[in-house]
Structure 1
Amino acid sequence: MDIRAIDPESPLARRCLTAYAAELRTRFPEGFDDGDLVAASELTPPAGVLLVAGDGMGCAAVRTIAPQTGEVRHMWVHPNARGQGLGRRLLTELEHHAHDDLGLTTLRLGTHEVLTEAAALYRSAGYDAVDPYGDTAHVHHWFAKSLR
């Protein structure tokens, strides 16, 4: 399955992000508001990038939050594509784009306590637990990784 950067305002991007938000609404006890999605302008180079796998079987984004520092957002794999390594492939490809295209040397991210599979992926990909940062809603665990 191909993974590529796309325009965050494209129909494919909207479909993928809508599916991501719909799943979070069902999994988060407090629900999820589409207003918590990152603005398209923050996911367009040089500010950030949005990757999509195939025809919307997964997505991952990074946005610049400080000089040389990015934040991973909207990491999601369609339920039918889980367990096949697509999440790891998306994360690896996102790290390459963050470093090579955006010049980022550190990635940060946060995840909800119910997303245990996401936290396990981040740990196994070399992300370390860090102190809380920012005001991102729905976050209980924070991680960071050096891309140097």
Structure 2
Amino acid sequence: MAKDMSDTFLYTTPLDPRAKPLIDELIVEYDSRYGNYFSEEGAAAEMNRYPAEAFAPPSGNFVLLMRNGEAVGGGAFKAYDEQTAEFKRIWTRSNLRRQGLARKVLFELEAQAARQGYSRVYLTTGFRQPEAVGLYLANGYTALFDVEADPEIYKTLPFEKNISHLVATLAFLADVPPPQPKAASHP
């Protein structure tokens, strides 16, 4: 499908009303894939595990991919440690899949994490999300688990990626020294 020129990124908060339809669909998707496997309360409990402030600058961020005024994708990151951003909830609307939207969100999050001084990305996905596993493996992420094993034995599947090259590139393009990472509070 042709690239839609009206796609733009909007940095905001998970509490933004424009994010609600996307987050609501994500909860339904998680519940349909996992039920109460991880929690008796289901996906809503996981979605509310972190306060919105965790995904706010200077240590985090939340982005929506907007198309014609509607959120069609999104994602967030929070501090994992001083050098590492932890990506959370990279998501695209189910009726718009297979257009490269998740990849666009992933790359935007990587660039923003680098702009905020992070040199590494850490993330996890669930064992019933093979599309996410494929996305991360196809875009330079290293699986921190045996990809040949049954993913259900791990429950959550961790990945990492070094983005220090982005920090240096962005600094070069801006002709300024790279930003220093913000202090992190890691639970």
The equivalent of 1:140 in structure 2 is 156
- Select which of 100, 112, 118 maps to 1:104: 118
Give the aligned length: 141
The equivalent of 2:52 in structure 1 is 40
How far the C-alpha of 1:144 sits from its partner, in A, is 0.0
Q: Residues 65-110 of structure 1, C-alpha deviation per residue, up to 9 Å, x if partnerless?
A: 111211110111111110000010000000001111x211110011
CA distance in 2, matches of 1:140, 1:36: 13
TM-score scaled by length of structure 1: 0.88
Report the residue type matching 1:97 in the other structure. Answer: Q
How far the C-alpha of 1:8 sits from its partner, in A, is 2.4
Mapping of 1:1-148 within 5 angstroms? Answer: 1-29=7-35, 30=37, 32-37=42-47, 38-54=50-66, 55-100=70-115, 102-130=116-144, 139-148=155-164
> Aligned to 2:117, what secondary structure does the other structure show?
coil
CA distance in 2, matches of 1:114, 1:81: 20
Q: Residues 9-60 of structure 1, C-alpha deviation per residue, up to 9 Å, x if partnerless?
A: 2111233222211211111142733121232010111121111111121111
Assess, with a 3 A threshold, how the Cα gap between structure 1 residues 139 and 58 changes in structure 2: closer, same or farther: farther
> Aligned to 2:64, what secondary structure does the other structure show?
strand
Deviates most, 49-58 or 31-40:
31-40
Structure 1: runs of 5 or more not aligned: 132-137
CA distance in 1, matches of 2:155, 2:52: 21
How far the C-alpha of 1:130 sits from its partner, in A, is 1.8
How far the C-alpha of 1:2 sits from its partner, in A, is 1.4
TM-score scaled by length of structure 2: 0.70
Deviates most, 122-131 or 5-14:
5-14
CA distance in 1, matches of 2:20, 2:79: 21
Contact 1:48/1:62 (<8 A) preserved: yes
- CA RMSD between the two structures: 1.7
Report the residue type matching 1:91 in the other structure. Answer: L
Structure 2: runs of 5 or more not aligned: 1-6, 146-153, 165-187
> Aligned to 1:3, what secondary structure does the other structure show?
strand
How far the C-alpha of 1:139 sits from its partner, in A, is 4.5
CA distance in 1, matches of 2:105, 2:99: 12
